[in-house]
């Protein structure tokens, strides 16, 4: 592996943020610095990253341009949208990272064919990058803003990590109350996610029995943690995020199973989706895969359970990327835990009772994998413990503090995992962001995942999964149907309902919570920001239900 770094300081034009008005004939300083890093090379290709720091006034919307010195061609790029004509490259912001405050940094990464090379110059928004700040004259007849916009967090919620962490979901959109467990119609989950720009809260708990696939639109927050009783989930159908972007899903159960007439469906589908984050979700009984993701990008799954797939018995099929998997529980799956045909961060996960664990598919694609602090544990259906890494030819893996427990003796007492399957071992993480993901030892990660992964409170299905895993080798199966688990409700188990707290103004925040924080229970103030954190009032409420803030 070769590693070359170019630090190029440069001036760029700055465009005014939406809604920002400047003082008459004022001069606003504009500038940036650019760092270009060739992070990895392989025969016929290389990977690189470009970090841009805004040294001038805030901008909202940017395009970075540069030219390769040879015949290099970008084959995959993340955190932006790329077009290339010959050697000329243009990268546009991805929407969620369009805003750049003063001294803020954004970055894009890419894989390319050809010999690694460093562009000679960069331009941002049409102005050549040269090093400092450049004064730009604003148009006359405008006035200064009365107050600066709140800085606000970029992250989906305070504990979000990885490539999907910048999703904002339905922030600033309307609040939709799911008031029944019907398959469709007013007040149903299907209706709630059928339009963009919504925060979805639940006044009911239990299973929603689906008669067909549900399609989730863009700029949506699904706040399953607001459901009363034992929580909320879907039974008997796929939930599709196909073509969607900027979605947050928390504390929700996806249980397809044999009640779906199309057994080539998946538990959830991310075809052509981008900028998604799933936190404390439980996905079981997918027939084709629990998760299927083709041409999907910038996605995080954290503190979730992916277990008990039926049919093909596959955990997750992922392509394009990049993806982040953090502190998830994978259990009772034949293969694809995950199938990572993409640049991937895989940190502090537990994989149990696998026949093939972390898999790359032996494809012709060259991908980068940061695999850190994970525990692979064999179970009754594991045929070869060494398949914790499977079909990893042509891949580059940063392998640190991963462990394999192969003795099935009821104790957590594994040995260090090594790179195998034809992969090349990296000396350092391919992504600078990996070091920013909170990471503990594999053993400590196991304890945390066992205690906290999946939707809460845990229901019959997840309790069965966790019981299998904590047997540490003696329990577990590869299920052909959900019925075979022996649980009631045709094998899906039950989710008890409950009664929602009073919410007089229907803004998604209970009256008692609003009163506690000085809000008006009789006025819709979901979109406010009472303590100027950048999260809206309703986000403070729904995030606090899982993150133990604002209780």
Per-residue pLDDT of the chain (551 residues; tens, 9 = 90+): 333 433 333 323 222 222 222 223 233 336 788 888 887 777 778 878 888 888 878 888 889 999 999 999 998 777 788 899 899 999 988 776 777 777 777 888 888 888 888 898 888 888 788 765 443 333 333 222 222 333 445 699 999 999 999 999 999 999 999 999 999 999 999 999 999 999 999 999 999 999 999 999 999 999 999 999 999 999 999 999 999 999 999 999 999 999 999 999 999 999 999 999 999 999 999 999 999 999 999 999 999 999 999 999 999 999 999 999 999 999 999 999 999 999 999 999 999 999 999 999 866 789 999 999 999 999 999 999 999 999 999 999 999 999 999 999 999 999 999 998 889 999 999 999 999 999 999 999 999 999 999 999 999 999 999 999 999 999 999 999 999 999 999 999 999 999 999 999 999 999 999 999 999 999 999 999 999 999 999 999 999 999 988 98
User: How far is the C-alpha of 228 from the C-alpha of 61, rounded, in Å?
Assistant: 40
Q: What is the pLDDT of residue 35?
A: 85
Q: What is the pLDDT of residue 31?
A: 77
The active-site residue, picked from 336, 400, 436, 458, is 336
Comparing CA positions, the residue from 493, 489, 484 lying closest to residue 462 is 493
Q: What is the pLDDT of residue 304?
A: 98
How many residues are listed for the chain in this entry?
551
Collapsing DSSP states into helix, strand and coil, what is residue 220? strand
All structural domains of the chain: 4-125+133-137 (2.60.40.290), 174-491 (2.160.20.10), 511-547 (no CATH)
Which residues are CB-contacts of 252 (< 8 A; sequence separation ≥ 6)? 222, 224, 231, 232, 233, 234, 281, 282, 455
Burial of 366 from C-beta contacts in 10 A (0-12 / 13-18 / 19+): buried
pTM: predicted TM-score of the whole model, two decimal places: 0.80
Q: Is the dihedral of CA 155, 160, 164, 170 positive or negative?
A: negative
Q: What is the pLDDT of residue 145?
A: 29
User: How far is the C-alpha of 264 from the C-alpha of 311, rounded, in Å?
Assistant: 9
* Residue in the structure block whose two tokens are 């979000």: 160
**φ, ψ for residue 227 (rounded to 5)?**
-70, 135
Q: What is the pLDDT of residue 363?
A: 67
Question: Token pair for residue 379?
Answer: 């179970």
Burial of 34 from C-beta contacts in 10 A (0-12 / 13-18 / 19+): buried
- The answer to whether residue 381 is catalytic is no
């Amino acid at each position: 592996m070769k590693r070359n770094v170019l630090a190029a300081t440069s001036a760029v034009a700055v465009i005014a943020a939406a809604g920002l008005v400047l003082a008459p004939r004022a001069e606003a300083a504009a500038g940036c610095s650019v760092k270009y890093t060739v992070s990895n090379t392989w025969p016929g290709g290389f990977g690189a990253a470009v970090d841009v720091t805004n040294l001038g006034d805030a901008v909202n919307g940017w395009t970075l341009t540069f030219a390769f010195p040879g015949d290099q061609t970008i084959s995959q790029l993340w955190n932006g949208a790329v077009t290339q004509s010959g050697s000329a490259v243009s990268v546009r912001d991805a929407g969620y990272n369009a805003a750049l405050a003063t001294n803020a940094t954004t970055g894009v990464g890419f894989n390319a064919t050809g010999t690694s090379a460093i562009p000679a110059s960069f331009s941002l928004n049409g102005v050549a990058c040269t090093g400092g700040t450049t004064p730009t004259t604003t148009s006359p007849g405008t006035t200064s803003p009365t107050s600066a916009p709140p800085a606000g967090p970029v992250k989906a919620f305070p504990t979000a990590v990885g490539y999907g962490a910048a999703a904002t979901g339905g922030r600033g959109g309307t609040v939709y109350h799911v008031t029944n467990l019907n398959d469709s119609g007013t007040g149903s989950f299907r209706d709630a996610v059928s339009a963009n720009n919504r925060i979805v809260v639940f006044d009911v708990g239990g299973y929603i029995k689906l008669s067909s696939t549900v399609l989730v639109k863009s700029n949506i927050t699904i706040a399953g943690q607001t459901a009363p009783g034992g929580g909320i989930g879907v039974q008997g159908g796929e939930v599709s995020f196909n073509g969607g972007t900027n979605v947050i899903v928390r504390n929700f159960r996806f249980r397809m199973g044999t009640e779906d007439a199309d057994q080539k469906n998946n538990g959830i589908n991310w075809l052509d989706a981008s900028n998604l984050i799933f936190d404390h979700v439980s996905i079981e009984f997918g027939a084709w895969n629990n998760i299927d993701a083709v041409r999907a990008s910038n996605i995080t799954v954290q503190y979730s359970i992916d277990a008990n797939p039926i049919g093909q018995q596959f955990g997750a099929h992922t392509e394009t990327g990049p993806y982040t998997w953090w502190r998830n529980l994978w259990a009772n799956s034949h293969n694809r835990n995950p199938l990572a045909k993409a640049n991937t961060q895989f940190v502090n996960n537990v994989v149990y009772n696998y026949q093939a664990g972390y898999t790359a598919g032996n494809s012709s694609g060259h991908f980068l994998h940061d695999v850190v602090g994970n525990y692979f544990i064999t179970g009754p259906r594991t045929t070869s413990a060494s398949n914790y890494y499977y079909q990893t030819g042509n891949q580059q893996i940063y392998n640190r503090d991963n462990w394999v427990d192969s003795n099935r003796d009821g104790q957590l007492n594994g040995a260090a995992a090594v790179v195998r399957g034809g992969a090349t071992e990296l000396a350092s993480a391919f992504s600078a962001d990996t070091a920013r993901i909170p990471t503990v030892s594999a053993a400590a990660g196991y304890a945390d995942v066992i205690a906290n992964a999946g939707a809460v409170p845990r229901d019959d299905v997840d309790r069965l999964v966790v019981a299998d895993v904590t047997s540490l080798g003696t329990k577990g199966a590869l299920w052909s149907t959900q019925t075979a688990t022996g649980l009631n409700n045709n094998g899906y188990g039950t989710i008890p309902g409950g009664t929602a707290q009073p919410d007089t103004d229907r803004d998604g925040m209970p009256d008692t919570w609003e009163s506690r924080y000085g809000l008006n229970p009789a006025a819709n103030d979901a979109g406010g920001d009472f303590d100027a954190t950048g999260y809206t009032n309703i986000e403070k409420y729904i995030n606090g239900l899982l993150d133990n803030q604002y209780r």
